Amino acid sequence: MNILVINCGSSSLKFQLINAENEKLIAKGLCERIGIDGSKISYTPDGGEKEEKEVPMGNHTDAIRLVLEALTNEKTGVVKSLAEIGAVGHRIVHGGEKFAKSTVIDSEVLAAIEECNDLAPLHNPANLIGINACRELMPDTPMVAVFDTAFHQTMPDKAYMYGLPYEYYEKYKIRRYGFHGTSHSYVSKRAAEVLGKKYEDLKIIVCHLGNGASVSAVMNGKCVDTSMGLTPLEGLIMGTRSGDIDPAIIEFIAHKEGKSIDEIMSVLNKKSGVLGLSDNLSSDFRDLEAGYHEGSARAINTMETFAYRVAKYIGAYTAAMNGVDVICFTAGVGENSAFIRSMICNNYLGYLGVKLDEEANKKRGEDIAISTADSSTTVMVIPTNEELAIARETYRLV
């Protein structure tokens, strides 16, 4: 069965068509600037040329119509008709406390996702638009919602409660939810598989270091803590998000700069992180790494601060699980930057008996252990594959 995986943002839509039986990618692409001037679609059939074209897309239904046209195109398409798409898997950012698992979408599920909109006002409404657009164009195709928060629903209450008046939890469900759950789940399971060990016997820390970044602690096959919170703003220093700060800074900036809460939230989400810390050098770690080697003081401090925060979370989660067997790196930075991995492991993880295999650490694109055979803790790079994980969940449920 072919599964169409859809990841809808407010003005973008990423898609992949995956054969669920052999787990091969059939085609992938991206619609950008939906509802804005200069909308464009890119489409790449597996093994074929990437096509890009500017086409007006007034809304997400237009975008999905174009995706379906590309997939069924006579010349460059990969399926003869929509009947060859067996199901659609949608990535949904926030499932609140309602969804601890992926689920087949019906009107009740749609209403329950809508109830979570308050918790993720930037993301969930766009995800819902994507579902509704697919329902309109493929009314008979089953659809599954796969939640970014679901994997973290096993956290104990001591990990998800904040030190706030309890009534806020009761009234508004303010608590830690965590995100990137599909990635943390995929990577931790894959690590156990590659090591040939039982998932249920391991204490694993997953460092998902991309433009968005989070760490999770997975003990005996269950997530017990994670660094993102009610929203993806908490935790590590990210591309443009601040991560953990003293909440009183918000009031301080409001007074000093005369900014509203909304303006400050925009600074914390879009102008902070390594971009802000590097004094606007870049949010891209490739630029920062280059700056580091050229001796730029801001780049050096930014990289060091980023690595230090990751190392502190690894320490915290080692304590939370009373030990750690495996530390995994994944996502754009975690998979590609040998330099950051080495900074974290060599500067801070000696107390865990971590010994990095410098040759293995240089490799790319493989599921691989990058620690030496005598390292007390195993360190691995596991390229994440959220789309495949969504396709697997969708296939399992339909």
Contact 13, 31 (CB under 8 A): yes
Strand 85-92, strand 2-8: pairing: parallel
Does residue 329 interact with ligand AMP by CB under 6 A? Answer: no
Stretch that binds ligand AMP, among 145-153, 197-205, 328-336, 347-355 (CB under 6 A): 328-336
CB 2 within 8 A of CB 18: yes
Spatial distance between the Cα atoms of 62 and 338, rounded to a whole number of angstroms: 41
Interacting span for ligand AMP (CB under 6 A) from 36-44, 206-214, 243-251, 306-314: 206-214
84 or 287: whose CB is closer to ligand AMP?
287
**Which residue, among 330, 321, 124, has the nearest Cα to 231 in the 3D structure?**
124
- Count of positions on this chain that bind ligand AMP (CB under 6 A): 13
Q: Specify whether the CB–CB gap between 384 and 332 falls below 8 A.
A: no
- Beta carbon of residue 171, minimum distance to ligand AMP (angstroms, whole number): 34
Q: With contacts defined by CB under 6 A, name the span among 139-147, 155-163, 331-339, 387-395 that binds ligand AMP.
A: 331-339
Neighbour count for residue 167 (Cβ, 10 Å) = 9
Residue 331 is a binding residue for ligand AMP (CB under 6 A): yes
Among 105, 174, 333, 391, binds ligand AMP (CB under 6 A): 333
Does residue number 337 form part of the binding site for ligand AMP (CB under 6 A)?
A: yes
Query: Which one, 364 or 396, has the nearer CB to ligand AMP?
Result: 364
Structure tokens at 9: 């943002």
Give yes or no for residue 228 binding ligand AMP (CB under 6 A).
Answer: no
Stretch that binds ligand AMP, among 23-31, 62-70, 284-292, 306-314 (CB under 6 A): 284-292
Beta bridge partners of 13: 8, 31
Residue 11: CB atoms within 10 A of its CB come to 16
| Nearer residue to ligand AMP within complex by CB, 79 or 290 | 290
Binder of ligand AMP out of 127, 336, 361, 375 (CB under 6 A): 336
Distance CA 100, CA 217 (A): 17
Residue 60 main-chain phi, psi, to 5 deg: -70, -25
**Residue 11 within binding range of ligand AMP, rule CB under 6 A:** no
Integer CA distances (angstroms), 8 to 30, 142, 170, 243, in order: 10, 17, 30, 24
Closest to ligand AMP by CB, 188 or 337: 337
Reading the block at residue 43, the tokens are: 């489409």
The pair of three-digit structure tokens given for residue 130, joined into one six-digit string: 């994507």
Query: Least separation, in Å, of the C-beta of 381 and ligand AMP?
Result: 12
DSSP character at residue 198 = -
Sole binder of ligand AMP in the list 51, 284, 357, 367 (CB under 6 A): 284
From 19-27, 117-125, 161-169, 330-338, span contacting ligand AMP (CB under 6 A): 330-338
Cβ proximity to ligand AMP, 28 vs 203, nearer residue: 28
Contact call for residues 116 and 96 (beta carbons, < 8 A): yes
C-alpha–C-alpha distance, residues 204 and 184, integer Å? 10
What's the chain's Rg over C-alpha atoms?
21
* Closer CB to ligand AMP, 84 or 367, in the complex: 367
State the minimum distance, in angstroms, from the CB of residue 181 to ligand AMP: 15
SS3 for 274?
helix
Among positions 287-316, residues that touch ligand AMP (CB under 6 A) are: 289
**Using CB under 6 A, which of the segments 25-33, 64-72, 208-216, 369-377 binds ligand AMP?**
208-216
User: Helix, strand, or coil here: 4?
Assistant: strand
Name the residue nearer to ligand AMP (CB basis): 151 or 329. 329
- Out of 285, 306, 313, 317, the only residue in the binding site for ligand AMP (CB under 6 A) is 285
* DSSP assignments along 288-351, one per residue: HHHHHHTT-HHHHHHHHHHHHHHHHHHHHHHHHTTS-SEEEEEHHHHHH-HHHHHHHHHHH-GG
**Catalytic residue positions, numbered:** 148
Here's the x/- map for ligand AMP, 158-197, by CB under 6 A: it reads as ----------------------------------------
Interface contacts to ligand AMP, rule CB under 6 A: 210-212, 239, 284-286, 289, 331-333, 336-337
